[in-house]
Amino acid sequence: MKKIQMVDLQSQYQKIKEDVDTAILNVLGSAAFINGPEVKQFETELQDYLDVKHVIPCANGTDALQIALMSLGLEPGDEVITADFTFAATVEVVDLLKLTSVLVDVDYTTFTIDIEKLKAAITPKTRAIIPVHLFGQCANMDEVMAVAKEYNLFVIEDTAQAIGADYKGKKAGTIGHIGCTSFFPSKNLGCYGDGGAIFTNDDELAHKLRGIVNHGMYKRYYHDEVGVNSRLDSVQAAVLRKKLPLLDSYNEARNKAAAYYSEAFKDIEELLTPEVNENSTHVFHQYTLRVTNGKRNELQAFLTEKEIPAMIYYPVPLRKQKAYNNGHYNDADFPNTNKLVEEVISLPMHTELDEEQLMFITSAVKEFFGK
């Protein structure tokens, strides 16, 4: 059996090696490393795939979130609400820009922002919401957009883990004012280095975003505002152009593995398998179980013993991280995040899991629970 990995990027690369190698060599030959034609072409192809008016490529997903926030004309102290249970990048950029991050609890079954908690966190200073489509399925966007409309707030979708997911027929990241994604190698659409992109249907925001990614420059050497330098390079764009046409089949492969897992675990009472929202498809960036009998860490150790990797995404709520604890949070407001950090465990999930590996992994988990 092939060694089991959380993410198997080598096996995936071997299948597209010839195509990708040629594309990379072409960029090297052209020497158009920055802003080459590959970048522009990828931009157009991703616009078509997402059915969105503007795609602005950038250097990584964290930059995408930062630049999105920078485009909104917010003032220091303005509040931005996001989920307590996500990767730190989502909140990091808020604090970095001297905006005030407000973390709220997530839903226990979908791992996405809890709408009631979101509503309760709104103050006269709230300006934006960043829903995170965690682990590959969309937050409850109908509700998020309804809240945003009622209070006149911006919505930035963190789509780093959910590219390709559909929410009621629209692609994740194209429903809010701005969508952000990452092409980090292990993401569902990963390049071979760092990369990211920002999406919007708003022409004015798109213009602003294009300026900010390029030193606040709208006319060469005229800097209208403080920007950043955040570029997707041509080599990464060339890789992404080869992988974008495969994204749906990659997400399908992830769904197949997820279905195999969930079928195998359906009779284990102490194990809650991921639930799929009625309005969103799931692209299983992660396959995340909840272990309800308090034995999550034992399960992880048991699997490690059998050389099956399993990860805890995420072990600490963001509000308990030193960097993001403002002293104002009340533990009782976060019952779900508090439970999730103790219960979650993510199994190997990627496009190259074969039946032998899946059988081995599921047998080990069943053995742990005496099934």
Q: Is residue 101 close enough to count as binding ligand PLP by CB under 6 A?
A: no
Q: Which of residues 26-65 bind ligand PLP (CB under 6 A)?
A: 60-62
Least gap, CB of 232 to ligand PLP (angstroms): 11
Q: Which is nearer to ligand PLP, 32 or 311 (CB)?
A: 311
Q: What CA–CA distances, in Å, run from 272 to 137, 268, 281?
A: 17, 8, 19
How do beta strands 100-104 and 170-171 pair? unpaired
Return the number of other C-beta atoms located less than 10 Å from residue 20's C-beta: 17
The interface region with ligand PLP, picked from 87-95, 230-238, 347-355, 361-369 by CB under 6 A, is: 87-95
Query: Is 131 a binder of ligand PLP (CB under 6 A)?
Result: no
**Long-range Cβ contacts of 17-22 (<8 Å, 24+ apart):** 19/242, 20/192, 20/238, 20/239, 20/242, 20/243
How many residues of this chain interact with ligand PLP, rule: CB under 6 A?
15
Choosing from 130, 160, 212, 253, the residue that interacts with ligand PLP (CB under 6 A) is 160
Query: Mask: binding to ligand PLP, 318-337, rule CB under 6 A, as x and -?
Result: --------------------
State the minimum distance, in angstroms, from the CB of residue 68 to ligand PLP: 11
Residue of minimal Cβ distance to ligand PLP: 61
Cα separation, 203 vs 290, whole angstroms: 42
Q: Closest Cα to residue 326, out of 95, 156, 150?
A: 95
CB-based contacts of 15: which residues, under 8 Å, 6+ apart? none
Site for ligand PLP in 183-212 (CB under 6 A): 184, 194, 196
**38, 114, 158, 233: which one contacts ligand PLP (CB under 6 A)?**
158
Cα–Cα dist 196/193, whole Å: 10
92 binds ligand PLP (CB under 6 A): no
Which two structure tokens, joined as six digits, stand for 170?
A: 């629209």
Q: List the one residue from 85, 87, 324, 334 that touches ligand PLP (CB under 6 A).
A: 87
Report the distance separating Cα 50 and Cα 170, nearest Å: 8
List of residues contacting ligand PLP (CB under 6 A):
60-62, 86-87, 89-90, 132, 158, 160-161, 182, 184, 194, 196
